[in-house]
Amino acid sequence: MARIVGGITTSHVPAIGGAIAKRRQDEPYWKPFFDGFVPVRKWLSEVKPDVAVVFYNDHGLNFFLDKMPTFAVGAAPEYRNADEGWGIPTLAPLTGHPELSWHVIESLVDDEFDPVTCQEMLIDHAVSLPMALLWPDQPCPLRVIPVCINTVQAPLPSAKRCWKLGQAVARAVQSWPGDEKVLMIGTGGLSHQLDGERAGFINKPFDLEFMRSLIGNPTWATQFSTHQIVEKAGTQGVELLMWLATRAALPGAVTQLHTNYHIPISNTASGLMLMEAAA
């Protein structure tokens, strides 16, 4: 049976890619952010997971407003990323795990989810940047299963629904007969708003409370409607839904091994958490 070893949640701001390309990691503006990943990389080198399920949101590279699935799961042999206009260097393709992907998809359908299945799938900075942060000196060595959650086009899935999605993904992985060690990754947020009257909005108290809740009271955020989350975290702060799904995909209690929170990164509250699943 496959084993879920832990979860990592992190921000995916495009400016991070620019900082990496221009080697600005040690500049005062960026250093507290990049230094946060050192303990996470050490844990990865020790645990050596085989597969990453990545909960992310597409920003128009693979899906656009005319066709925006609520949930989509990749079942491709590889995933390529491209420049969405940010000037970020593209990375080597990520290797997929079609067999496990189809198992997850079929299990989700049995659990009364209706994901869009993607045998070809482009990935954007929401996937490529976390991989560059976690494995800065090599291509990502894990096989990857992307799970896309709509946070762009209304109506968005509720926090409760995203929690249930994460639980369903966990059940799927745990029923897989292989012996892979599976890592859950959630990317996005935290609080930020890039447009409108509240452009630049950041809510540090809410962010920190949300991060604490993932350890001690993980369903805390499911009490909020989508509109309430936007009010508390900003229009783009709804990306915390990926964090919530990731935590739901870690069965039972977890151990927080590392956390980092740094503002601002391109008008975004950038968070990082490493949670180890129970043996």
Pair 173, 182: CB distance under 8 Å: yes
User: How buried is residue 174: exposed, middle or buried, by Cβ count under 10 Å (0-12/13-18/19+)?
Assistant: middle
DSSP code of residue 64: B
Question: What is the DSSP code string of 17-49?
Answer: HHHHHTT-TTSTTTHHHHHTTHHHHHHHHHH--
Q: Which fold has domain 3-277?
A: Protocatechuate 4,5-dioxygenase; Chain B (3.40.830)
Q: Kindly write down the DSSP assignment for every residue of 148-215, as one continuous string.
A: EE--SSSSPPPHHHHHHHHHHHHHHHHT--S--EEEEEEE--SS---SSTTTT---HHHHHHHHHHHH
Whether this prediction's pTM lies above 0.85 is answered by: yes
- Given a contact cutoff of 8 angstroms between Cβ atoms, the answer to whether 257 and 42 are in contact is no
Give the separation between CA 3 and CA 184, rounded to whole angstroms. 11
b/e map 50-72, b = 16+ CB within 10 Å: bbbbbbbbbbebbbeeeebbbbb
| 121: nearest Cα among 138, 105, 139 | 105
Q: Look at residues 41, 9, 23, 63 and name the one whose alpha carbon lies nearest to residue 214.
A: 9
In sequence order, the 6+-apart residues with CB closer than 8 A to the CB of 216 are none
Domain spans in the chain, listed from the N-terminal domain onward: 3-277
Surface-to-core class of residue 253, CB atoms within 10 Å of its CB (0-12 exposed, 13-18 middle, 19+ buried): exposed
- The pLDDT, as a whole number, for residue 192 is 85
Distance of CA 137 to the CA centre of its chain: 21
3-state secondary structure of 220: helix
State how far the alpha carbon of 178 is from the alpha carbons of 34, 87, 88, in Å.
Answer: 34, 39, 36
Q: Among 104, 59, 54, 49, which Cα is nearest to 79's?
A: 54
**Cα–Cα–Cα angle for 100, 101, 103, nearest 5°?**
60
Q: What is the pLDDT along the chain (279 residues), one digit of tens a residue?
A: 899 999 999 999 888 998 998 999 999 999 999 999 999 999 999 999 999 999 999 998 889 889 999 999 999 999 998 876 777 778 889 999 999 999 999 999 999 999 999 999 999 999 999 999 999 999 999 999 999 999 999 999 999 999 999 999 999 999 999 999 999 999 998 998 878 888 888 899 999 999 999 999 999 999 999 999 999 998 898 999 999 999 999 999 999 999 999 988 888 899 999 999 987
Which residue, chain included where needed, has tokens 């390529």?
A: 80
Q: What is the pLDDT of residue 87?
A: 77
| Catalytic site positions | 125, 192
Dihedral angle over CA of 181, 90, 267, 73, nearest 10: -40
DSSP 250: S
